Structure 1
Amino acid sequence: MTKEDIKHIKQLLAKQKNIVIVPHKNPDGDAIGSTLALYHYLIKHKHNATVMVPNDYPTFLKWIPGNDHILKHDSQTEACETLIKSADIIFTLDFNAFHRTGNMETVLTESKALKIMIDHHQAPDNYATYMFSDVSMSSTCEMIYHFIDMLGDTSRIDSNIATCIYVGIMTDTGSFRFPSTTSKTHQIIAKLIEKGANNAEIHNNVYDTNSYERLQLLGCALSNLKVIPESRTAYITLSQDELNMFNYKKGDTEGVVNYGLSLENIVFAAIFIEDKQEGIIKISLRSKGNFSVNEFSRVHFNGGGHTNAAGGRSELSLKNTIEKFISILPSYNKALNDD
């Protein structure tokens, strides 16, 4: 995003606007944190701002300041689409292609509103008038901090904005342990704490509110863990029956894939989750070092993301998806063993 872009955006935001803020389908901590941080910021400037998500999100994110103001497109379709059609500006956060919004894709594509993208994923589509796209960033929430800073307005960051930004940076960096966590990230975190983000409370609200059934599901997932030593790969499966057995709720499998990557000498981890309602197998991929799960997912599983964290999907059965995955791995053995 150039200085000229920022100048134009400041001019746009100088007068009250109808603004819609949208994250991707199945929003995570970075998606909810970034949209609500921007919402609080725009409200301070007297804009008519609304956050609308394509569908529901995990309970452990529903304490975040501003959560009660979020609209859900799948259950409040008419209200959401009316607001989109009357919007002056649409901010798209934590995604860079409209298909990532599921059933919102058509109405967003057809909208005449000016669009501003803020995102850190690879290979962005060219739909936005203004694009703040940086794959080196730890999270979209870190980019929201930089965006406010570029507008010369960090003095307006209060405890609500700081809390929202902290959530997204914390969750998207695996509590600050992923390679995308830089010294600048930590400097921003320090400033957020100074602004009123309660780091201990935020961590507790996100990570320490598990249900008994969620931990039982984790035990089931770990019992399904398989290792392929020659490919330095580990994978986990969860069938629909297993999900039902432990009363699965959205968000219950968040982060489970990382257990595979925690094994010694493993550089590639995957989890395959059966979703009979959508008729697909949902796939999450993680890696260490230079092995790109983004490229792997794009080529084989209709997905994408980052070099070390990506998602995908398969319309095969769970059994056939696993067989496909295992059959592909030998062609990547050299890359997987080079790290």
Structure 2
Amino acid sequence: MLDIASLSQLLNQPQKIVITTHHKPDGDAMGSSLGLYNYLIQQGHHAKVITPTDYPEFLNWMPGNEEVIIYTENTELSAQLVADADLVFCLDFNTLTRINALGELVRSSTAIKVMIDHHLEPEDFDDYRHWDIKACATAQLVYTFIVNELQRPDLISADVATCLYTGIMTDSASFRLPNTTAAVHRITADLIDAGAVNWRIHELVYNSSSEMRLRFLGHCLRNKLEVLYEYNTAIITITRQELKEFEVITGDTEGIVNYALSIAGIRLAALMVERADRVKLSLRSKGEFPANEICKKYFNGGGHRNAAGGHSELTLEQVTQQFKQLLPEYKTLLIQ
């Protein structure tokens, strides 16, 4: 593994750098990626952010977004940039399968690979790793990487601060999760001092829904919510037809599972969405309940204890039934 002194020395000279993050990037994925991008370009590096897929429109306002390359829309340029890169920063994912076809390009690249992440059980593909499963967001780790590892707090510009604040805010569920420690609040205070306008960031992320998204949300809560009080569990299922009917775009389903979890007494919530080739699951839980264990054991996924995801190639009806049938196994944890 590369040590921080060697990495710092490399970064003292302009390098060709690719920054990438996971499939269907969320606020932390884009916030950490663009935060690092805005840091690197200050030092004269030739840096590019390449995402495996598109991402929600409510993240398009972040500084540097106009420079992002979406792999599925520009495969040849993406492949060339990865092949030519001196360094590849891999943010907010722990295995190359999380970046789809881009993963094999990164694996075969001769570039030095740097992982910055907070997920369990990282794959051993990296040359340098800044990793902590206790961190509330990868954006938090990008901050500590810049400030503590590289010793460059002076380069936390307003653009860097804005992006990193967005990542921390979104992945901590607006600072509500247990891993939002005093240290996290001190970091966000530093980011505000550096120029992140906290109230405006919240408005841009959370108060920019389209009319159709609100109608879709109302439909989900009124017609698709199923509460299993015997297991303190709530489920929302969404069909492909409903996605089409409500003109759902990338990002429109984000956060819906949290409404199910907000019901008093509910300890586990599941959102199941029927896509073209598979059913996607998002699980959220409270306390010590291991949502990530269910996703890893039954649904080809994983994640954090209280926020995890997975998928299945079964039908939506079959996945829903499978999920319900495994609840008795966890009943003791769910009703305690």
TM range (shorter): over 0.9
1:59 is aligned to 57
Q: Take 1:281 and 1:215, find their aligned partners in 2: how far apart are those partners?
A: 23
Letter in 2 for 1:73: Y
User: Between Structure 1 and Structure 2, how many residues are aligned?
Assistant: 334
| Offset of residue 16 of structure 1 | 1.2
1:26 is aligned to 24
| Offset of residue 67 of structure 1 | 0.2
Deviations 1:252-290 (A, max 9, x none): 0110000111011111000001112xx101100000011
SS state of the match for residue 163, structure 1? helix
Task: Compare 23-32 and 7-16 and name the one that shifted more.
Answer: 7-16
Deviations 1:60-100 (A, max 9, x none): 00000000000011010000100100111000000010000
Letter in 1 for 2:271: I
2:159 is aligned to 160
Find 1:5's aligned residue among 3, 6, 24. Answer: 3
2:241 is aligned to 241
Q: Take 2:187 and 2:249, find their aligned partners in 1: how far apart are those partners?
A: 33
1:201 is aligned to 200
Q: Take 1:32 and 1:165, find their aligned partners in 2: how far apart are those partners?
A: 9
Where structure 2 has 5 or more consecutive residues not aligned to the other structure, the ranges are none
1:100 is aligned to 98
1:282 is aligned to 280
Q: Take 2:3 and 2:153, find their aligned partners in 1: how far apart are those partners?
A: 18
Q: CA RMSD in A?
A: 1.0
Pair 1:185 & 2:194 matched = no
Q: Take 2:10 and 2:286, find their aligned partners in 1: how far apart are those partners?
A: 42
SS state of the match for residue 3, structure 2? helix
| Offset of residue 14 of structure 1 | 1.2
SS state of the match for residue 65, structure 1? coil
| Offset of residue 5 of structure 1 | 2.2
SS state of the match for residue 165, structure 2? helix
Deviations 1:283-317 (A, max 9, x none): 00000011111111000000001010000001111
Pair 1:319 & 2:321 matched = no
Deviations 1:149-203 (A, max 9, x none): 1211011111100000000000001100011100011111111111110111101
SS state of the match for residue 235, structure 2? strand
Pair 1:40 & 2:11 matched = no
2:173 is aligned to 174
Q: Take 1:337 and 1:62, find their aligned partners in 2: how far apart are those partners?
A: 41
Letter in 2 for 1:190: A
Letter in 1 for 2:214: L
Pair 1:266 & 2:266 matched = yes
Q: Take 1:209 and 1:42, find their aligned partners in 2: how far apart are those partners?
A: 29
SS state of the match for residue 213, structure 1? helix
Q: Take 1:199 and 1:21, find their aligned partners in 2: how far apart are those partners?
A: 25
Q: Take 2:102 and 2:197, find their aligned partners in 1: how far apart are those partners?
A: 34
SS state of the match for residue 74, structure 1? helix
